[in-house]
A and B are shown apart, each in its own frame.
Chain A
Amino acid sequence: MPTTTPTHAPARSARASAVGHPPAWLVTLAVLAVVTVSIPLVYLGVRASGVPSSAWGEIFLRPLVGELVWNTIGLSVAVSATAIAMGTLIATIVTRLRIGAARTWLLISALPLAVPSYLASYGWLVLAPGISGFVPSWALLSAVTIPYVTLPVAAALRGTSADGEAVARTLGLGPAQAFWRVTWPQVRPAAIAGGLLVFLYTLSDFGLVAMLRFQTLTWGVQQAYSASFDRSQAAVLAMLLVVIAVVVVAAERGARGSLRRTTAIHSTKEPLSPSARVLLSLIVALPPVVGVVVPLIGLGIRLGEATTLRTFDPENLLQATTTTIGVSLAAALLALLLALPLAALAARHQRTWISTLEGAGYLSNGLPGIVVGLSLVFFSLSVVPSLYQTVVVLVFAYAVLFMPKALGTARASIEGVPADLISVARTLGASRFEAWRRVTVPLALPGLGIGALLVAIATMKELPATLLLRPLGSSTLATELWSRTAAGEFGAAAPYAAVLVLIAAIPAMILSGVRSVAKEEM
């Protein structure tokens, strides 16, 4: 008979909520952050409510709409389920099994983060021009998004003791059962939070599905916007995307559970047979091969062709690179600043209205870039026309779009700082703010850095909002790549693609190199 492991009785449940009422300034900042990132949503609401009800019916009755919804949900569910399963598996292999060169493997498994989805499909299309539809879209999106689960789960696994599993084994559980009943509950919050990012990524992806001709809602929105006489339909379709995102965020609230941390004790790992090692290495290598290696081969082939070398313009490439790096760093910083108050509030205070607020902070992640871009065109034109088509609005758009990426990691890393430490600091004479500055921030910094890097990477890859909002005459690597690809100049696009991969790969590598738990583990 399997024995249930007794959970430690929360004798001190008082402590977690002991910090008392959230301070007014923190609540104000968090609400401001949510209001800020809600601007596109509000505009969308305004647009959609301007649509006459007769038109709504007409839009919904189109057979295409049903198909778009079905395709979108099917693809998003398939990709996030794959990412959760594969990401957890890979993280377990890398952190818990004696696969050898574990840190290198973790680095490699993070590489797909560096590859924009449209670039992966571009690379595959160069090699296999015929691919299209659900299966290639699912496979490629999965390969690109698996690290969103692998990294947080690996961090959670490093933060939990492997002893629980060993104890479960002595209580008569098999390895798989022991993992399922002991380790999975501990990494589940991280896996599900990662899965949410993947779902929302897939929901908003445009470039890849457009290239692989799989018609989802984002594609529908894009089509409707391009046919600019009928923006109502685009607003209605975008509204559908928002509804799906709301439902998923709400479901994640329920499924996540709370993050618990134990001190990591690294028990000895069992040695593996050579054949098992090869098999496990293949599993870990699969996403990087599909999402990075094959597309890069495709790219490399284009890069080596004579037409590419003839049209190469180093000055323009340099300008695009500088712009890309500059706006990415600015966006990462701004997104982190927006996410911090909300993360601090959600990590330290368990109230229903706070989780609702936090959920609202995630919504912009479900919005396609094109919707955020266009709504900000509208917003800047009507509210701050002097900023229209300036870098300020562009960076703001990125921050709005990618704040959720910083939010999850920021929340988890603040949650990882024991509340007792804050209380001790307070009794030692530190004010709330001082305790925050001297204890929480230094301890949460690695996690906050990861959040900022996730934003920077996403910004470098962002395409549709950039196309709409970039200042006249300037361009980023992504827009250069897209405009050349759209014009059929696959060769001319290749250098931009190559640099994009290079500069996005650097933060991705740093990301997997950072230890999520700092000094206490060293």
Chain B
Amino acid sequence: MTTLTLDNISLSYGSRQALRDVSLVVPSGSLVAILGPSGCGKTSLLMALAGLVAIDGGTITVGSRELSSAHHRIPPEQRGIGWVPQEASLFPHLSVGDNIGFSLPKGRRRTERVEELAGLIGLRGYAERSPGQLSGGQAQRVALARALAPAPDVLLLDEPFGALDTVLRHTLSRDVARILREQETTAILVTHDREEALDLADFVAVMDNGRIVQVGTPLEIYESPATPWVASFVGDTVELEGVWKDDALNCQQCGSKDFCGPAENRLGCTGHVVCALGDVAATSQGAEPRNGDTVRVVVRPEWLVPSPSGIAAQVHSVSYAGHDALVDFQLEGHPERVRARIAAPFLPSVGQDFHLALRHPALVFPVDEPEGALA
């Protein structure tokens, strides 16, 4: 078992607190993405995991082995935690083969293992090259093979695709995720790219200001964010003001009933809100509002769909992206505008009249929730 458990770890550099009571469980063999803006403590977390910095409190455990606590730290070389740094950081004085085999004792076994890993990353025959002769993507693959060579219990990937161009990043990140799954490696991927996190990871942990704000499957994080900040950090949002009503609309009364998915896929409606979009089914996130409370209503642009029976609106502007477009609508009879993601190719033009309906329960948050909220 290589389940990685972080229990209430904290870390500070002088007076600056980088990690505050971070707890996280990474199940054996899974890939967990740590998603957060720059400076949120992602890198500090990785360095604490790798044993490169000492933590001030809490414990880090792999299986039943405690790696770090406030009083004790197993040195990096004995932790069985591999690390793929941001910019490959290949040893410039060693060949590709020697980079991959850095952790292995010299001999025939090493040559074989290096061959095997080179094949795994699709770079067979590159062993004699120097790191300077590799492209960015190749270097990153070598860094991955190098980290996998000693068969670590846990692998840390620190924004490994950040320096690559979009196309390469996409193919490489999928390749890497596949390799990790094949190797059944427990892995943590640190990234600030939400699509990368949602696409690759089994679980996503969203970090802000040294804390983990929410942990969940990519679907949970995106569809049921714990705070408005998480909602807007992991995807586009539309925000409105509304009034909370305790009584859940039954599906037959719901304005969205024609669009809503099958019942088993629904995240559940705990009530409804009265807002510019009409009376819409809603789920409250976090705090439970009282009947009649003013609340923040958050929906995603793709939850708004064209519907002849929906509310009336006029197209204000169109931001075209090829496969779809983000369209701003001026709601009729309301000062608010909403943004909807309309699939290509039948896109409305500016000024056109339109009808919209919501096909997913709206998310409801308390109005006084501070920005960048604490979990």
Residues of A near any B CB (own CB < 8 A): 11-15, 17-20, 418, 420-421, 423-432, 434-435, 438-439, 442-443, 518-520, 522
Contact of B43 among A15, A430, A438 (CB under 8 A): A15
Enumerate B120-155 residues with CB–CB distance to A below 8 Å: 130-132, 143, 146-147, 149-150, 152
B81: CB under 8 A from chain A?
yes
Contacting residues, chain A, for B78 (C-beta < 8 A): 429
Structural contact, A424 and B93, CB atoms closer than 8 A: no
Complex contact B103–A430 (CB within 8 A): yes
Measured CB to CB, the nearest residue on chain B to A520 is B92
Pick the contact of A427 from B38, B50, B86, B132 — CB < 8 Å?
Answer: B50
| Cβ B91 vs Cβ A14 within 8 A | no
In Å, the complex CA distance between A428 and B44 comes to 19
Give B93's nearest chain A residue, CB to CB: A442
- B83 pairs with A429, CB closer than 8 A: no
**Contacting pair B83 A20 (CB below 8 A):** no
> Are B50 and A14 in contact, CB atoms less than 8 angstroms apart?
no
Min C-beta distance of A363 to chain B, whole Å:
30
Chain B residues near A519 (CB-CB < 8 A)? 92-93, 130, 132
Task: Say how far B38's CB is from chain A's closest CB, in angstroms.
Answer: 5
Q: In the assembly, what is the distance between CA of A329 and CA of B85, in Å?
A: 40
**8 Å CB contact of B102 from A425, A443, A522:** A425
CB contacts (< 8 Å) of A438 on chain B: these are 102
A421 touches B91 (CB 8 A): yes
Which residues of B have CB within 8 Å of A426? Answer: 50-52, 75-77
Q: Are B77 and A429 in contact (CB under 8 A)?
A: yes
Answer whether A424 and B53 are a contact pair too, CB < 8 Å, given A14-B13, A14-B47. Answer: no
Among candidates A13, A418, A429, A518, residue contacting B89 with C-beta atoms closer than 8 Å? A418
Interface centre among A424, A518, A519, A522 (most CB of B within 10 A): A424
For B130, what are the chain A residues with a Cβ–Cβ distance below 8 Å? 519
CB<8 Å pairs between A and B, sample of 5: A13-B13, A14-B18, A20-B53, A427-B83, A428-B102
Minimum CB–CB distance from B257 to chain A (whole Å) comes to 48
Kindly list 7 other residue pairs between chains A and B, CB separation below 8 angstroms, not including A18-B53, A425-B102.
A14-B18, A17-B13, A426-B76, A427-B82, A428-B103, A435-B77, A519-B132
| Contact between B47 and A18, CB atoms less than 8 A apart | yes
Contact string against A for B residues 84-112, beta-carbon threshold 8 Å, 1 for contact and 0 otherwise: 01110101110000000011000000000
Report the minimum CB–CB distance from B88 to chain A (whole Å).
Answer: 9
Partner of A428, one of B54, B92, B93, B149: B149
CA distance A181 to B5 in the complex (A): 49
Report how far A12 CA is from B47 CA in the complex, Å. Answer: 11
Known: A14-B18, A426-B77. A20 touches B52 (CB 8 A): yes
**Cα–Cα, bound, A20→B76 (Å):** 12
Nearest to A432 among chain B residues (CB) is B75
Q: Are A427 and B13 in contact (CB under 8 A)?
A: no
Cα(A193)–Cα(B276), bound, Å: 68
Q: Please tell me if the beta carbons of B91 and A439 are within 8 angstroms of each other in the complex.
A: yes
* A18 contact from B38, B52, B87, Cβ within 8 A: B52
Least distance between A225 CB and chain B CB atoms (Å)? 49
Q: Give, as a whole number of angstroms, the nearest-CB distance from A158 to chain B.
A: 15
A424 to B77, CA, bound (A): 9
- What mask results when residues 171 to 200 of chain B are scored 1 for a CB within 8 Å of chain A, else 0? 000000000000000000000000000000
9 tightest CB-CB pairs across the interface, nearest first?
A: A426-B76, A428-B103, A520-B92, A427-B83, A420-B89, A429-B103, A429-B77, A442-B93, A420-B85
Residue numbers in A under 8 Å from B86 (CB-CB) = 420
The answer on a CB contact under 8 Å between A14 and B92 is no
A434 to B77 alpha-carbon distance, docked (Å) = 10
Considering residues A17, A428, A432, which has the most beta carbons from chain B within 10 angstroms of its beta carbon? A428
- Minimum CB–CB distance from B230 to chain A (whole Å) comes to 21
Of the candidates B92, B143, B150, which one forms a contact with A429 in the assembled complex, judged by CB atoms under 8 Å apart?
A: B150
Our pick among B75, B92, B93, B143 for the contact of A431 (Cβ within 8 Å) is B75
Total A-B Cβ pairs within 8 A: 96
Complex Cα distance A12/B85, Å?
A: 12
- Chain A residue nearest to B44 (CB atoms) is A14
Residue of B nearest to A438 (CB): B102
Contact A424 B13 (CB under 8 A): no
How far does the alpha carbon of A20 sit from the alpha carbon of B149 in the complex, in Å? 26
Contact A428 B89 (CB under 8 A): no
Bound-state CA distance A435–B76 (Å) is 11
A19 CA to B79 CA, complexed, in Å: 16
B39 interface contact, C-beta 8 A:
yes
- Min Cβ gap A69→B in Å is 42
CB atoms of B85 and A14 under 8 A apart:
no
Say how far B192's CB is from chain A's closest CB, in angstroms.
11
**CB atoms of A443 and B43 under 8 A apart:** no
Docked complex Cα distance between A421 and B13 (Å):
22
Contacts of B91 in A (CB 8 A): 421, 424-425, 439, 443
Residue of B nearest to A418 (CB): B89
Decide if B13 touches A423 in the complex (CB within 8 Å).
Answer: no
Closest B residue to A423 by beta carbon equals B52
User: Which of A418, A423, A522 touches B83 (beta carbons < 8 Å)?
Assistant: A423
Find the residue from B18, B43, B76 having the highest chain A CB count within 10 A. B76
B103 contacts which chain A residues (CB < 8 A)?
Answer: 428-430
CA distance A386 to B85 in the complex (A): 55
A430 to B146, CA, bound (A): 13
Among candidates B47, B82, B89, B152, residue contacting A421 with C-beta atoms closer than 8 Å? B89
Using Cβ atoms and an 8 Å threshold, which residues of chain B touch A12?
A: 43
Bound complex: CA A20 to CA B79 (Å): 17
Residues of B within 8 A of A11 (CB): 38-39
CA distance A426 to B79 in the complex (A): 10
B83 to A14, Cβ gap below 8 A?
Answer: no
Q: Are B52 and A19 in contact (CB under 8 A)?
A: yes
Question: In the complex, A520 Cα to B38 Cα: how many Å?
Answer: 29
Shortest distance from the beta carbon of B60 to any chain A beta carbon, whole Å: 14
Tell which of B38, B54, B102 touches A20, judged by Cβ atoms closer than 8 Å.
B54
Q: Are A14 and B43 in contact (CB under 8 A)?
A: yes
Q: Which residues of A contact B51 (CB under 8 A)?
A: 426-427
Query: CB distance A423 to B38 under 8 Å?
Result: no
- CB-defined contacts of A420 to chain B, threshold 8 Å: 85-87, 89
Quick one: which of B248-303 are within 8 Å of A by CB?
none
Are the C-beta atoms of B47 and A428 separated by less than 8 Å?
no
Determine if B92 and A424 form an interchain contact, defined as CB atoms under 8 angstroms apart.
no
- Cβ A427 vs Cβ B77 within 8 A: yes
Cβ-closest chain A residue relative to B81 = A427
With A429-B77, A431-B77 in contact, is A424–B44 under 8 Å at CB? no
- The distance from the CB of A432 to the nearest CB of chain B, in whole angstroms, is 8
B93 A443 Cβ-Cβ under 8 A: yes
Interchain CB contact under 8 A, B132 and A520: yes
What is the CA–CA distance of A137 and B77 in the complex, to the nearest angstrom? Answer: 56
In the docked arrangement, what's the CA distance between A420 and B79, Å?
17
Task: Give min CB distance, B191 to chain A, whole Å.
Answer: 14
- Asked if B50 contacts A423 (CB within 8 A), the reply is yes
B43 near A424 with CB under 8 A, answer: no
Q: How far is the CA of A422 from the CA of B303 in the complex (A)?
A: 48
**Chain A residues near B143 (CB-CB < 8 A):** 424
A425: chain B residues at CB < 8 Å are 91, 102
Could you tell me if A424 and B89 are in contact, using CB atoms closer than 8 angstroms? yes
Q: How far is the CA of A139 from the CA of B194 in the complex (A)?
A: 64
A445 closest partner in B (C-beta): B93
Q: Are B93 and A14 in contact (CB under 8 A)?
A: no
Check A14–B150 contact: CB distance below 8 A: no
